[in-house]
Structure 1
Amino acid sequence: MTRAKTGVKREPLVSAQEVADFLDIPLQTIYTWRHRGKGPKFTMVGRHLKTKWSIVDAWLEAQDDAA
């Protein structure tokens, strides 16, 4: 299968582990937040949680605004 070129530049997805490492928190915290409806939004891709850095950045900004 080949991908059609659309000219749209897409942001790569990052794993829950990468986000946990970046935030310096345990991976389990990401899972707990997701279960409780907190934290940055993740999407299931197959069996894996994925998100975009822009979503993580926006969530962090919102945390700064709420503090």
Structure 2
Amino acid sequence: MQTKNHQAATAAANTADTTTLLLTSADAAQMLGICTNTLAVWRSTGRYNLPFIKVGRCVRYRLSDLTDFMTHRTALHTGQVTRHD
């Protein structure tokens, strides 16, 4: 089930410049199919090269960065999967 924010972000992505569209951690996690706690661990450990923006205590992800992250991790078979990060 998509959140209203995620639905709005998806709709906005169709008309907005995706380099400036920012998503919350919850929306980014939902887009990636992971838990928000997993994103927090990735940020603190640097496990993956997934850029984020932090203003005060707020963390945001660019839609374009999430799309790039998923594109670079897409494989056609398991022999093709390599560790880039």
* Alpha-carbon separation, structure 1, partners of 2:69 and 2:33: 15
- Matched residue, 2:29: 20
Unaligned runs of 5+ in 2: 1-16
- Matched residue, 2:11: none
TM-score (structure 2 length as normaliser)? 0.59
RMSD: 2.0
Unaligned runs of 5+ in 1: 1-8
- Matched residue, 2:67: 57
TM-score (structure 1 length as normaliser)? 0.72
- Provide the aligned length of Structure 1 versus Structure 2: 59
Amino acid paired to 2:71:
E
SS in 1 for 2:74: helix
**Runs of 4+ in structure 1 over 4 Å off:** none
Percent identity reads 22
SS in 2 for 1:33: helix
Q: Does 1:42 align with 2:59?
A: no
Measured after TM superposition, the shift of residue 22 of structure 1 is 1.4
Measured after TM superposition, the shift of residue 15 of structure 1 is 0.8
